[in-house]
């Protein structure tokens, strides 16, 4: 496993690039055939991909306990945050079905993303970074997945564009740095267009406008509702999305249709057919955030731009976030704090073997993956019981106190029969949803499995005597509750002694084999 894709649904996350790929060479968009396609950095803390086309779904992810963002090497992005249920601040261009964060999903031209167009004003040539939507062949491409940030380096038309993404430790926001460098020995006149589409936010109400007082584009919407009681509940939702600029741009565009025009995203009419963006607002039209900087670069000179993206309840929250983060110092503090936060997931195991790729995986990326799963519980208020237990089993080797608390939280929701519920409720008002409304029978299996791992690592046998009170007020020790769970498993068997599967997926291909009340495994 090299560059990680996160999966917040059933099962564990899967790699976007396998270790085998690291032995290949890049014969793709970069031209030459001698550059390794995938490679770790010297200290192993980053993994780099040198082609935008060889592994187009390769991605990286960042998270905190309030949000997660998954970005691909080509610039597509999926982000969710908790309020307290999962929500989005950047949307697809059409109505979306609510689902968990999926790895290596299919992408399309208008999929949400974070893009930067660059136009040579002398020749009118354009390209985009990281790669989408223009897909111009770069002279150099590096996608660098770090533990606490994500970076891209793209060279084209004698220019270098460097992108960096960082997120805060606690707040929901994206901090984007764009560095543009003139690689030639002549002055250059260029336009740089960050393009961050908000997408189709709501069929009830959506808009976006340039706010000079905030120096950014602010999109507003109303989360759709059809029940009167939902109106009052939705009033507390963060239905605004903002894209703020540290330095005022030359021009902007807030209407998706006006930006794209007839040229399509690979050649937007607002860029190709005009010297400056149109400065129009979106009123019920699909909103977007596109800004333009007209720059004059001397030979070998660089220009840095910083942007802040995220959701907000109101203007006051936007102002607070701007003051807190949108400056050179604010970005530096955020990056340092987040790196410290991620470093807490280093883990307790370091190996040194003849296989350098295995060492890199185990020492750097495996503990990070375990930390993610145990830290945020897949960004849901009702994680599936088996997932909750599995994820916190991994935390035994990262932060065992988290595993201990999770074990007690799960046992407190045990049913009187000894069975475990299909999901563990983590927030007030949370309800069992989706897959957790489907009967599963294997959750109890994971209690002794997780307990064995925890005790082997910590020797915390005092846990067995800890008293746990369930929702009915009944008190029993951890040891007693584990025994009841095993007794329930023994009782839920067919005439052959096999456990009933019910409608859940002990093994995905066997889903639904027990819906008639028979069928075991």
Q: What is the DSSP string of 60-114?
A: EEEEETTEEEEEETTSBEEEEEESSSEE-SS--SS--------TT----TTS-B-
Q: Identify the domain boundary among 296, 319, 343.
A: 343
Asked if 67 contacts 167 with a C-beta cutoff of 8 angstroms, the reply is yes
**For residue 26, pLDDT beyond 80:** no
- Give the gyration radius of the chain's Cα atoms: 25
How far, in Å, are 173, 207, 253 from residue 211 at the CA level?
18, 13, 12
Within a domain: 319: yes
CB count, 10 Å around CB of 431?
12
Within a domain: 15: yes
d(CA 23, CA 360): 14
Q: Identify the domain boundary among 280, 312, 343.
A: 343
Same domain membership, residue 339 and residue 440 = no
Same domain membership, residue 360 and residue 337 = no
For residues 496 and 383, the model is more confident at 383
Within a domain: 515: no
Q: What is the pLDDT of residues 67-91, one digit of tens each?
A: 999 999 999 999 999 999 999 999 9
Which pLDDT does position 429 carry in this prediction?
Answer: 87
d(CA 108, CA 121): 29
**For residue 41, pLDDT beyond 70:** yes
Instruction: Report the catalytic residues.
Output: 508
Which pLDDT does position 49 carry in this prediction?
Answer: 98
Q: What is the pLDDT of residues 276-314, one digit of tens each?
A: 999 999 999 999 999 999 999 999 999 999 999 999 999
Which pLDDT does position 8 carry in this prediction?
Answer: 35
Which pLDDT does position 14 carry in this prediction?
Answer: 32
Q: What CATH code is carried by the domain that includes residue 410?
A: 1.50.10.10
Asked if 202 contacts 223 with a C-beta cutoff of 8 angstroms, the reply is yes
Q: What is the pLDDT of residues 148-195, one digit of tens each?
A: 999 999 999 999 999 999 999 999 999 999 999 999 999 999 999 999
How many structural domains does the chain have? 2
Mean pLDDT rounded to a whole number for the chain: 90
**For residue 326, pLDDT beyond 50:** yes
For residues 3 and 509, the model is more confident at 509
d(CA 424, CA 450): 16
**For residue 393, pLDDT beyond 60:** yes
**3-class SS at 314?**
coil
**CA 77 from centre of chain:** 8
Mean pLDDT of 96-102: 77
Which pLDDT does position 35 carry in this prediction?
Answer: 82
Which pLDDT does position 20 carry in this prediction?
Answer: 35
In percent, the amount of the chain with pLDDT more than 70 equals 90
Q: What is the pLDDT of residues 499-510, one digit of tens each?
A: 877 776 655 556
DSSP 498: P
**For residue 450, pLDDT beyond 90:** yes
Q: Identify the domain boundary among 343, 376, 406.
A: 343
Q: What CATH code is carried by the domain that includes residue 68?
A: 2.70.98.40
Helix (H) or strand (E) holding 408: helix 400-411
């Amino acid at each position: 496993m090299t560059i990680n894709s996160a999966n917040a649904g059933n099962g564990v996350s899967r790699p976007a690039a396998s270790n085998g790929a690291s032995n290949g060479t890049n014969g793709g968009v970069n031209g030459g055939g001698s550059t390794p396609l995938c490679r770790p950095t010297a200290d192993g803390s980053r993994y780099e991909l040198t082609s935008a086309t060889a592994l187009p779904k390769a991605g990286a992810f960042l998270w905190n306990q309030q949000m997660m963002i998954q970005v691909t090497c080509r610039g597509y992005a999926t982000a969710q945050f908790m309020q307290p249920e999962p929500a989005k601040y950047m949307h697809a261009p059409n109505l979306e079905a609510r689902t968990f964060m999926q790895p290596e999903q299919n992408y399309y031209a208008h999929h949400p993303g974070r893009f930067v167009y660059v136009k040579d004003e002398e020749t009118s040539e354009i390209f985009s970074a990281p790669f989408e939507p223009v897909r111009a062949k770069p002279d150099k491409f590096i996608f660098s997945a770090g533990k606490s940030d994500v970076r891209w380096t793209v060279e084209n038309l004698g220019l270098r564009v460097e992108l960096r993404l960082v997120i805060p430790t606690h707040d929901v926001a994206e901090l984007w740095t764009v560095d543009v460098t003139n690689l030639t020995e002549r002055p250059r006149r260029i336009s740089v267009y960050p393009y961050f589409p908000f997408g189709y936010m709501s069929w009830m109400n959506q808009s976006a406008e340039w706010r000079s007082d905030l120096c950014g584009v602010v999109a507003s919407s109303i989360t759709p509702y059809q029940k009167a009681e939902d109106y009052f509940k939705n009033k507390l939702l963060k239905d605004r999305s903002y894209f703020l600029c540290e330095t005022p741009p030359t021009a902007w565009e807030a209407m998706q249709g006006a930006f794209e025009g007839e040229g399509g995203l690979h050649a937007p009419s607002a860029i190709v057919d005009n010297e400056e963006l149109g400065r129009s607002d979106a009123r019920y039209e699909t909103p977007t955030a596109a800004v333009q900087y007209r720059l004059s670069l001397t030979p070998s000179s660089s220009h840095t731009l910083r942007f802040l993206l995220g959701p907000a309840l109101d203007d006051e929250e936007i102002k607070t976030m701007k003051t807190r983060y949108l400056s050179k110092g604010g970005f530096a503090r955020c990056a340092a704090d987040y790196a410290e936060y991620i470093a807490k997931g280093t883990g307790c195991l370091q190996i040194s073997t003849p296989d350098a790729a295995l060492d890199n995986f185990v020492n750097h990326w495996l503990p990070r993956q375990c930390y993610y799963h145990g830290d945020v519980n897949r960004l849901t208020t009702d994680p599936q019981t088996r997932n909750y237990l599995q994820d916190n089993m991994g935390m035994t080797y990262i932060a065992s106190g988290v595993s201990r608390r999770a074990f007690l939280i799960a046992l407190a929701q045990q049913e009187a029969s000894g069975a475990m519920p299909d999901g563990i409720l983590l927030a007030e008002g949370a309800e069992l949803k989706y897959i957790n409304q489907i009967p599963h029978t294997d959750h109890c299996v994971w209690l002794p499995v997780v307990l064995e791992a925890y005790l082997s690592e910590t020797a915390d046998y005092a846990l067995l005597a800890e008293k746990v009170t369930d929702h009915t007020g009944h008190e029993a020790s951890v040891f007693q509750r584990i025994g009841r769970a095993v007794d329930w498993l023994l009782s839920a068997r067919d005439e052959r002694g096999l456990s009933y599967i019910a409608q859940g997926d002990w093994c995905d291909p066997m889903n639904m084999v027990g819906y008639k009340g028979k069928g075991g495994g």
